[in-house]
Amino acid sequence: MKGWWRPVLTAVVIGLLAASLIFWGGPAGGYAVGQAVYDTVGDSVYGGDRAGGSQGQQGGALLTEPSVPPAVGEAVYAPPPPPPDTEPPATPAGLAVENPGTGTSLVLTWQANTEEDLQGYRLYRAGERGGPNARMGEGEVDAFEARYVDVSVARNASYWYRVSAVDVNGNKSPLSEPVAGTALDVTPPAVPQGFKVRELDTGHDLEISWAANTEEDLGGYTLYRAADPEGPFEAVASLQAGATAYLDTGLVQGRWYYYRLTALDTTGNESEPTATRGARPRQAVTVAVYQDGAAGAAEVLMGLDSTAVFLNVEDDCITVTARAFDGRGAEVPLAGRWRFAAAFGRFTQAQITGTGEAEARFTADSPGEGEIAVEFYSAGAEEPASSDAAVVRGLEWHVELEASGDRTVTGGSDIILTARVTDRDGRPVTDQAAAVVFQRDGAGSSLARAVDEGERRRPKIGRWHGEGRASALMAGRDAGVSRGRPGAGGQVEARWVASTVPGKDAVRAVLLYDDLNVGGQRVKEVDVSRAVKIRVEPGPARYVGWAPETVVLADGGEAKAEIRARDAFGNATPDTGDLKVWLQVPLGVPLELSGDGGKNWVPAGEWADARPGREVRVRPAPEAEEIWAGSYFVNTRLEGSSLSPPSGVAQANLPLQVTIEKDIVRRQEPEGLGPRVWRSLLEMGARLLSALGLGA
């Protein structure tokens, strides 16, 4: 019996363990204990026959219970264990890959398996369809539900996914078919904030600024520009992610530009654009002002001394004034800065001129027009507290003068002067701010200073219609003024009325800019034409006279005079046409004359022909021994087609008066009646008989 207690003790311990495992572990536990008892006790319990009883092992199968119950003290019988679970779950179906659009994850979903012993799922990923596949986790399973979020993706990368089901016994299903997915980033950045456009003072640049976006994948910005707030917009700049400002240069002064900004990520996703912001580049000058008792300006007013600058006038400019008023209309002291801004042209020389006042000089660089403004900014302010604006023009006007002729006769036909106003390209100017004044050369125009004082003192030969002025022809009638505004074709016409005095004159057209004297603005002299020279010549002979009209005859001498042909206004004229002049000393006058300068002498009572301009001589008759002091006349008679007497001339043909201041005595006569006396008596008797009709 030595050592018998060992197998018995072993059987008891195993029995107790078996009972516990059967109670707590179920059939599987019992099977395991029974198998252990069977393997451990073996022949020591059954005496070499594992089957026990009469049945034992039949055909290699273990009996479920012994044929004979074990005696007290023998080991408890355990049934044989069931076969192990080696059947895998079904392959998961319906694998799908969804892209959330952020570029940072992909979502995998599939149909859930229905096995009771299902433990979970394992996920595999490959860079290509054919693999290699790599586990996405390290535990028994990667997912307990039919969904998995892959957050280890690279932005915009593509992957192939497969899924396998795993049961509690570690059995794995075959892998599903591979399904591809791409982690595309389709989410745009946020709209940039703080977007604004600010004009600089250069006249050609604008500054655009904004607050930086904070996205990790921010790639940059795109700036768009348009000429209209409604577009179309075109990209003008692509900016890096760190940019927060852009300087748009080389812009057209005074033209409006409109901007929008978008943000882009590294994938190229573009945000919605910002709100449209617009500005126009203006040239500007500023001047700071700090005055005691400074107050805010309720209103700002601009003043101009003209509304146009002329490029063809040297150093032409406009003086622009700015004045600030309070709510009651009183000028107020200021603290801040004045800004003179030009959408056209340029400002210079800004300065403070008084309480609440400033001024600057404006000029133009090219023809055109645009707005200028004065703005007052309070100290530290970015926007003006008050402003005022006006439109000004830069012009280049020229005037040319033509005449319908360059000469006329005294009292003859008028001359039509035509002034033509054109711009720099030769196009007619019909602007009613243009005015033309017709003036004599050097008579009052500050643009015609070349005429020296000597010429200014010359007699004004010729005259203007009316009170020494030209006549501007307006609407086909004589307005009686020396100025006018251009009509169709940029023309102004004036009438130059012929003088009654021969001579020369010169006329110019002076072009003025006169915008109807709005607001007390000054009139500008813009251009002056070349001088048109006009010659006034004597008219045709209407009568003749003498030069001198009276001659004095002394004893033994001769008196000389010249026949002068005169026009209707008494001017000596060479225009004698077919004029003939006949001269006669009346019968009984003791004189004789020569119409050819002394070559041939004609006694009293006979006619001698003469020509205007010839010298006529008169002397005592040779036979006259005594001539009494007094006045005698030489008669004239004219022939020709141009001799109708002019109005206002009492006698068409004036005689030559010959004056003898004292008696002329040639010799002393004897006492009594001498031959001279008898001859005189005989002549008188003959005249008397002739008068009575008794003569031969």
CA distance 658 to 633: 6
pLDDT at residue 327, rounded to an integer? 77
The angle formed by the CA atoms of residues 316, 320 and 322, to the nearest 5 degrees, is 170
Task: List, in order, residues 6 or more apart from 481 with CB less than 8 Å away.
Answer: 469, 470, 471, 472
Joined together, the tokens standing for residue 121 give 């799922």
pLDDT, position 483: 78
Does an H or E element contain 692, and which?
helix 675-692
Q: Which two tokens stand for residue 384?
A: 């003006």
Q: Domain 96-182 is in which class?
A: mainly beta
Q: What is the largest CA-CA distance in the chain?
A: 245
Do residues 251 and 208 touch, judged by C-beta distance below 8 A?
A: no
Residue 129 Cα to chain centre, angstroms? 64
Tokens of 569: 């206004």
Across 151-202, where does the E strand assignment appear? 158-167, 179-182, 196-199
Pinpoint the alpha helices (H) of 202-360. none
Superfamily assignment of 397-537 in CATH? Immunoglobulins (2.60.40.10)
Whether 541 contacts 642, CB under 8 Å? yes
Task: Note the residue count of the chain.
Answer: 696
pTM of the model: 0.61
Cα–Cα dist 37/76, whole Å: 8
- Peptide bond preceding 540: is omega within 30 degrees of 0, i.e. cis? no
CB contact set of 433 (below 8 Å; sequence gap of 6+): 307, 308, 513, 514, 515, 516
pLDDT on residue 616? 92
Helix (H) or strand (E) holding 465: helix 465-468
Quick one: pLDDT at residue 655? Answer: 84
Third-level CATH fold of 196-279: Immunoglobulin-like (2.60.40)
What end-to-end distance do the CA atoms of the chain give, in Å? 237
Report how far residue 190's alpha carbon sits from residue 377's, in angstroms, rounded to the nearest whole number: 34
Torsion of CA 15, 20, 25, 28, to 10 degrees: 0
Phi-psi category of 401—alpha, beta or left, where left has phi over 0 and alpha has psi -120 to 50? beta
Rg (CA), the chain: 66
3-class DSSP assignment, residue 163: strand
The domain limits of the chain are 1-83, 96-182, 196-279, 284-395, 397-537, 543-665
Query: 308-310 and 318-325: which strand pairing?
Result: unpaired
Cβ atoms < 10 Å from Cβ of 633: 15
- Chain-centroid distance of CA 207 in Å reads 20
Under 8 Å CB-to-CB from 155, ≥6 apart: which residues? 103, 104, 183, 185, 217, 266, 267
Q: How far apart are alpha carbons 555 and 403 in whole angstroms?
A: 58
Q: Quick one: fold of 543-665? A: Immunoglobulin-like (2.60.40)
Residue of 399, 346, 398, 341 whose CA lies nearest to 368: 346
Please identify every stretch of the chain with a pLDDT value under 70, giving residue numbers as ranges: 1-78, 297, 442-481, 516-521, 555-556, 640-653, 666-680, 686-687, 690-696
φ and ψ of 43, to 5 deg: -70, -20
**What is the torsional sign of CA 229, 230, 234, 237?**
positive
For domain 284-395, give its CATH number from 2.60.40.10, 3.40.50.300, 3.30.300.30, 1.25.10.10: 2.60.40.10
Angstrom distance (rounded) from CA 292 to CA 84: 105
Are domains 196-279 and 543-665 of this chain identical in fold? Answer: yes
Separation CA 629–CA 493 (nearest Å): 62
